[in-house]
Amino acid sequence: MKSSMMNIGEAARFSGVSAKMIRYYEQIGLVPPATRTEAGYRGFSLQDAHSLRFIRRARDLGFSVEKIADLLALWRDRERASADVKQVALSHVAALEAKISELQGMAQTLQQLADHCHGDGRPDCPIIADLALATEPQAETEPPPARRRRAPRFGVDTPASSRSRDRAADRS
């Protein structure tokens, strides 16, 4: 292997992404297939390793694989509109804030129930009583059928920025 190429272990150490996840990201098309040595080992360029580091940081911030694919496409598009990136980020912020609000509501409910529980040897417990009195779900009576979502494929399903779309429209 050339000295400018990294094996999967070196790319994993550089990026902070495990070798197993690197193979997974390659399998689902989030990153392009790695080059192969004559012996069949994966080889990663410095740019590949930086892409993996980008993915790790995006995962650390809670972005879904689909949104990471969008962000990678924007990152690679040097003529991207920063407004497109900002829109993805603000949409994620809104989703995180909604989740935080939901979790805070759960924590408050459990705290109120715990405050009313004596926590002694008696069998009476408002926490258990509340769980037992839960109302039936309104809309969903049976679980939805399991559906496996396909992750976007690198270079196929990844969207272009609005500037790229505008340029393409201008050419037609």
Q: Which position has the higher pLDDT, 12 or 157?
A: 12
pLDDT at 2: 45
Q: Is the dihedral of CA 82, 87, 162, 47 positive or negative?
A: positive
| Ordered domains of the chain (ranges, CATH) | 8-60 (1.10.1660.10)
Is 10 buried (19+), middle (13-18) or exposed (0-12) by CB count in 10 A?
Answer: middle
Nearest-5° angle of CA 59, CA 63, CA 68? 85
**Rounded CA separation 76/99 (Å):** 30
Is 5 in contact with 43 (CB distance < 8 Å)?
yes
Q: What are the structure tokens assigned to 28, written together?
A: 């689902």
Q: Give the range among 1-10, 122-131, 161-170 with minimum mean pLDDT.
A: 161-170
Angle between helices 8-15 and 46-60 (to 10 degrees): 50
pLDDT at 53 over 70: yes
Q: Give the range among 73-77, 100-104, 123-127, 135-139 with minimum mean pLDDT.
A: 135-139
Give 118-165 pLDDT, tens digit per residue.
888 888 898 999 999 877 776 655 555 655 555 555 555 555 555 555
Which residues on neighbouring strands pair with residue 6, listed in sequence order? Answer: 44
pLDDT at 1: 41
**Rounded CA separation 38/46 (Å):** 20
